[in-house]
């Protein structure tokens, strides 16, 4: 996944003129999307405005992902293109600064600067608050490689974006509450690239949610590599987990929907399940990766739970919130995976029934225990297993979407839709919903009946011409 989201008008914060342009290309997970916004927030007071056009940028930053080999290799191909662009610029007497951020930067550091001399600065996920200083050093001609690890310091010093910049990013927002991971699944680089688990304090999170709400954000998705491991001292002096934090955020004026991702099955505690039962604002959609349905492979992956633990957990969650939909991540072809192990994964998927899921071929990552394991699975076997699994998951997703026809629920409208007069919003289960609706509904929840289901979207109609709070939005009530 790449995301080239742009925002405009980022000068408000520093009051300076936007004389320079920065282009940020984001690879990978939602946390990188969040971090890219933090980079542009940090650069705004230095006079950098975001641009959607790399050719007009003075600074290009690639915010990279190291989770699978393909994701990391994409960065080097992009750097090849940037080398040509930089040479062209230099022949015209203009300059271009190139930065590599994110997990590839953290994992490979100096190696990037060596392999791709086009790069002026390399900086890991814990250095974004220091970006102005790093850019200054690179402008003075230094090759900057900064991969220090201090997550707490980063959280304390993140730049506060202007209200205008937040508004330009839309009515939904990510909010990082936790970073890093202590689980050490044997396939995964995250504990090495993002470091040990660190939870942000309640006061910082509540303050950021308040600022987002004031700028018009209505839906907040709490982020963390292992988000349900979040913990902290609550405002009542007691130890809080994610469940308690969600109850607190539900009180922030203006926030109408809450979500969180990504969770580990071992960290779904009673308070979090209670939040799904008691908090209507917490959307009934849960990303709860299991990776494999085989107990043998779960153990080899160091996931620290069994398939039966997962089934029991899902039973408890469904008992608390019967309309909850599940999503997951799966890896096929982990070392030692046999046909029987893979059959267990297929059987688990059949039994759980997913609304959506991501599935991947195992990619050995340097430095992780999985990469050194014997019995690596052949590429052709991985491909065949992935195809079979994806067919099943897609069938389940289609069935889940089809079950929406005729249903009525609230949609949070986000932006203009595909056609004139249409808006697109999200269902509680994250599906895009296209509806004929007036523009003033952007940022509002309104009740919609689903009349049709497409491949990637639902189609609905407003059923009463009012937003959920009862204000008339001036539409004719469809017959
Ligand atoms: N913390 C989450 C969890 O516990 O499931 C996952 C975070 S990871 C950034 C996202 C997904 O990438 C994982 O759930 C896994 O399915 C996939 N992934 C991670 N390492 C991988 C690897 N070496 N090969 C293939 N897929 C991988
Ligand atoms: Fe990676 Fe998630 Fe396992 Fe942590 S819990 S090591 S982030 S897969």
Write the pLDDT tens digit of every residue in 436-467: 999 999 999 999 999 999 988 999 999 876 55
Collapse the DSSP code of 241 into the 3-class scheme (helix H, G, I; strand E, B; otherwise coil) and give the result.
Answer: strand
* Burial (0-12, 13-18, 19+ Cβ within 10 Å), 73: exposed
How high is the pLDDT of residue 456? 86
Strand partners of residue 50: 22
The number of residues making up the chain comes to 479
Spatial contact of 424 and 432, defined as CB atoms under 8 Å apart: yes
Task: Work out which ligand 1 atom sits closest to the CA atom of 358.
Answer: 16
Those residues whose C-beta lies under 8 Å from the C-beta of residue 87, and which sit 6 or more positions away, are none
Contact 79, 166 (CB under 8 A): no
pLDDT at 465: 63
Answer for the pair 327, 429: CB distance below 8 angstroms, yes or no: no
Task: Determine the distance separating the centroid of ligand 1 and the alpha carbon of 363, expressed in angstroms.
Answer: 10
* Ligand 2 lined by 185 (C-beta under 6 Å): yes
For residue 262, whether the previous peptide bond is cis, meaning omega lies within 30 degrees of 0, is yes
CA atoms of 476 and 464, how far apart (whole Å): 9
In this predicted structure, what is the pLDDT of residue 251?
97
Report CA torsion sign: 384, 390, 392, 398. Answer: negative
Protein residue with least CA distance to atom 5, ligand 1: 289
Q: Give Dmax over CA atoms of the chain in angstroms.
A: 67
Model pLDDT, residue 12: 38
Q: Which atom of ligand 2 is nearest to the CA of 264?
A: 5
CA distance linking residue 65 with residue 71, whole number of Å: 6
Ligand 1 interacting residues, C-beta cut-off 6 A:
29, 67-68, 187-188, 190, 225-226, 262, 264, 289, 291, 329, 331, 360, 362-363, 365
C-alpha–C-alpha distance, residues 431 and 356, integer Å: 10
Q: 101 CB under 6 A from ligand 2?
A: no
Q: What is the pLDDT of residue 396?
A: 97
Q: Which residues in the chain land under pLDDT 70?
A: 1-18, 465-479
The pTM assigned to this predicted structure is 0.92
> Which pLDDT does position 4 carry in this prediction?
38
């Amino acid at each position: 996944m790449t995301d080239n989201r742009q925002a405009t008008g980022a000068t408000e914060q520093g009051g300076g003129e936007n004389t320079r342009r920065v282009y940020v290309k984001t690879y990978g997970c939602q946390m990188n999307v969040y971090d890219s916004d933090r980079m542009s927030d940090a650069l705004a007071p230095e006079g950098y405005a975001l641009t959607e056009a790399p050719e007009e940028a003075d600074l290009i930053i690639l915010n990279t992902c190291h989770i699978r080999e393909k994701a990391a290799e994409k960065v080097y191909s992009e750097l090849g293109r940037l080398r040509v662009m930089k040479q062209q610029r230099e022949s015209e007497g203009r300059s271009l600064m190139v930065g590599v951020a994110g997990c590839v930067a953290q994992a490979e550091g100096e190696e990037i600067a060596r392999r791709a001399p086009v790069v002026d600065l390399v900086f890991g996920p814990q250095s974004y608050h220091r970006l102005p200083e790093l850019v200054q050093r690179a402008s003075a001609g230094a090759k900057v490689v900064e991969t220090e690890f201090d997550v707490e310091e980063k959280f304390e010093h993140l730049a506060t974006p202007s209200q205008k910049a937040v508004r330009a990013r839309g009515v939904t927002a990510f909010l990082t509450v936790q970073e890093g991971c202590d689980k050490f699944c044997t396939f995964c680089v995250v504990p090495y690239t993002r470091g040990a688990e660190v939870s942000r304090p309640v006061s910082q999170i509540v303050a950021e949610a308040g600022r987002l709400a004031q700028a018009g954000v209505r839906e907040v998705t709490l982020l963390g590599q292992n988000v349900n491991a979040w913990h902290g001292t609550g405002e009542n002096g007691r130890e809080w987990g994610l469940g308690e934090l969600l109850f607190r955020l539900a009180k922030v004026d203006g926030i109408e929907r809450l979500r969180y991702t990504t969770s580990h099955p071992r960290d779904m505690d009673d308070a979090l399940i209670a939040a799904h039962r008691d908090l209507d604002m917490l959307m009934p959609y849960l990303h709860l990766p299991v990776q494999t349905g085989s107990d043998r492979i779960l153990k080899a992956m160091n996931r620290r739970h069994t398939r039966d633990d997962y089934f029991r957990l899902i039973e408890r969650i469904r008992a608390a919130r019967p309309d909850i939909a599940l999503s997951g991540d799966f890896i096929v072809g982990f070392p030692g995976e046999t046909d029987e192990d893979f059959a267990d994964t297929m059987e688990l998927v059949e039994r759980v029934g997913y609304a959506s899921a991501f599935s991947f071929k195992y990619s050995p990552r340097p430095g992780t225990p999985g990469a050194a394991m014997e019995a690596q699975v052949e590429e052709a076997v991985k491909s065949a297993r992935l195809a079979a699994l994806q067919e099943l998951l897609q069938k389940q997703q289609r069935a889940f979407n089809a079950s929406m026809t005729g249903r009525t629920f609230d949609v949070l409208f986000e932006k203009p839709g595909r056609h004139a007069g249409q808006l697109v919003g999200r269902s509680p289960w994250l599906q895009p919903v296209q509806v004929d609706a007036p523009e003033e509904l952007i940022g509002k929840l309104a009740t919609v009946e689903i009349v049709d289901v497409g491949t990637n979207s639902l189609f609905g109609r407003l059923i009463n011409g009012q937003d959920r709070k009862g204000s008339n939005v001036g539409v004719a009530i469809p017959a």
